[in-house]
Amino acid sequence: MDITLKSAAEIAQMREAGRIAAGVLEFIGPHMLPGAVTLELDEMMNDYIQKQGAVSADLGYHGYPRYTCISVNEVVCHGIPSTHRLRRGDIVNVDITVIKDGMHGDTSKMFIIGETSLRSRKLCECAQQCLYAGIREVYPGADLTQIGNAIQKIADKAGFSVVRDYCGHGIGRHFHEDPQVLHYRNQQSVILQEGMTFTIEPMINAGTWKCKISKKDGWTVTTADHQPSAQWEHTLAVTADGCEILTLRGEEKIPQHVVNLTKH
Ligand code: MF3
Ligand code: CO
Ligand code: CO
């Protein structure tokens, strides 16, 4: 395991990358409507990213063909924007990773298209609560295992499952760095230190946690049982007394600086 600690100057750069990534999600919100074509949303988001002086990290990453990931209903992650039109009742994850001055910012959220079923709404809410519970376990001296344990507890209580095939990740000059951040109950101990930067991005399924990858495109990940899936993601920096959310949006109630040494 080779975890790079970031300096204050590097975190300042990541704050800027994170701010732009969060801004993309705020920008696209009003366009997430019935009838929207996901390829057009992808193009609009890329125009926005370019105007901010950043670039998409997704395009060309291991051959990924588009600027963003848009994952609808039973798509768990890595949905490729296409000529598909959104419909009322869809639940949609938009996942954005940008590079600004060599640093990555990675974030995603769920959008509900019009109105959806109570169960789908609960799933989206649960996945966001899972992310927030994970964030509250991030402070120097904490163990990375606390994140997965906290998330699993919330998903279990709601009767949902936690995806095991994909995890959060260290982030900085590289898109995916050490450590791996598991979202399910685990014993992969890593003690957190100030200056670590990583994502938490729980994928929560209504039914089984098992997933499959499309044989057609090699990217699209769907639930094995075709039940819906929800995901929210933030990029975080471990601070002296907790963590800073580098990709916070204006609509969120959680503070940018989450203080958490009171636990000890
Ligand atoms: N943004 C995703 C993550 O959270 C990764 C997307 S990789 C891509 O790690 F190639 F599909 F874009
Ligand atoms: Co990520
Ligand atoms: Co992401």
Give me the sheet containing 234-238, strands edge to edge: 177-181, 168-170, 197-200, 234-238, 242-245, 257-259
Say how far apart CA 203 and CA 151 lie, in whole Å: 10
Assigned domain for 78 exists: yes
The alpha carbon of 72 and the centre of ligand 3 are apart by a number of angstroms equal to 15
Q: Which atom of ligand 1 is nearest to the CA of 68?
A: 12
pLDDT digits (tens, 9 = 90+) for 147-181: 999 999 999 999 999 999 999 999 999 999 999 99
Q: Six-digit token pair at 75?
A: 């798509």
Query: Does residue 248 fall inside a structural domain?
Result: yes
Residue 1 in any domain: the answer is no
Distance 217 CA to ligand 2 centre (A): 20
β-pairing, 55-56 with 91-100? antiparallel
What pLDDT digit, counting tens, does each position of 186-207 carry? 999 999 999 999 999 999 999 9
Q: Is residue 36 part of a domain?
A: yes
Number of domains in the chain: 1
Q: If you take atom 2 of ligand 1, which residue's CA is the nearest one?
A: 95
Tell me which residue has tokens 């590289």. 174
User: What CATH number has the domain bearing residue 174?
Assistant: 3.90.230.10
Range of the domain at 120: 8-263
Q: Is residue 3 part of a domain?
A: no
Collapsing DSSP to helix, strand or coil, 220 comes out as coil
For residue 117, tell me if it sits in a domain: yes
Report the alpha-carbon angle 32-33-38, nearest 5.
60
What pTM value is reported for the model?
A: 0.98
Please name the helix (run of DSSP H) or strand (run of DSSP E) that holds residue 227, with its range, or none: none
- Domain for residue 2, yes or no? no
Q: Is residue 160 part of a domain?
A: yes
